[in-house]
Structure 1
Amino acid sequence: MEEKIYLRLKKKIAVNPNHLLKLSDIAYITGNISGLSRLNELEIYQITDKDKNVSVIDGFLLLKQLIHAYPAITFELIGPNQIIVEIKKQTKKVNIIVLTAIWLLLCVGSAMAIMNFHYDVSMEQVQQSLAYLLTGERVNKPLLIQIPYSFGLGLGMVLFFNHIFKKRFNEEPSPLEVEMFNYQQDLDNYLIYHENVITKRDD
């Protein structure tokens, strides 16, 4: 029977600086040979300072290295053709002053956006007209409508983003999570193309 190994590269991993990557770190492997555990320990790539924040390992170069090490075994790559290796860096301590400034900036900016929207659509006049239709009286400040509307606006934002702090209401992703996922996909594709050794060599 032909000895055959199937490999599926992991899409992305995070490692410490100067980490020695082994085959088990970057791929799932299976096959009909007895020495799978030894194959898992095969050294693939040494992370160095030249890699900076990210490195991309191409499946074609990996197969070339495996065939050179085990010429009698047939290797077949399934799934992704590249793996992104993120090099962990020391995280800096959060600066409370900067965090507070960013929070205030976002809070004020969001409030201004909501107020400008309400001004553009004449929300005050709409609420006054709605109060007149419901009560038959004209009032300048229809608080019976404005107060529930304010609470409803905040509740609607919470339901829209499907989060309150770290609490999730259901398994459905929020629009923000979908956009972040799409952004991460685009970023990964960019890294795969521009950090790939084969692509750099072709350019």
Structure 2
Amino acid sequence: MWEYYGASEGGGTSIGPDEWLRKPGSVGRPYPGNEFRILDDEGNELPPGVSGRIWVRTAGSSFEYHNDPAKTARTYREGGWFSVGDVGYLDEDGYLFLTDRASDMVISGGVNIYPREIEDCLHQHPDVADCAVFGVPDDRWGESLVAVVQRRAGSTLGQAEVVEWVRTNLADYKKPRRVDFVDELPRDPNGKVVKRRLRERYLSSG
């Protein structure tokens, strides 16, 4: 099985089965004619293994968002580089690893936290069927993490166990400050969890 990563705006990577066994979790290296860079918020290039915004340059690629020149301008950098808002890192061999979407990043206590890393951690718990992690406003921390968890059938998994699982496997500041349990997570027609709906529920409830 081959895996591909890309966007309708252009750019892409691919990885084959033998490569993936050597680079588990990677989405591969760029197609011929594609270049990838990882930059921080100030536009500085980041070293291998450090996550930042993914920027792409492809031969002859040019696009505009319909009736949204401001978004188009934000998408491009000098030299023809563009970003669709994905976050990730390159390793020493040029293989790309995805971390999250920039729009999903949570800033809590001045620290950047990528919810996908916490979701990946929770998915490894035997009693978690699915989950979604996101940030909500917090008077003390700026934002705090909420984990909405769908238990496996018959599980009695509780909040303390979820928090301890994350704290044990990741840095302490990445543990959720609130854990709620649902029978089913909201999804779009393609089956993707719609975090926006979950986040809106918390914002509307205060």
TM-score w.r.t. structure 1 length? 0.22
TM-score w.r.t. structure 2 length? 0.21
Q: Which has the higher contact order (CA 8 A, sep 6+)?
A: 1
Hey, which of these two has a bigger chunk of strand by percent?
2
Which is higher, the Rg of structure 1 or of structure 2?
1
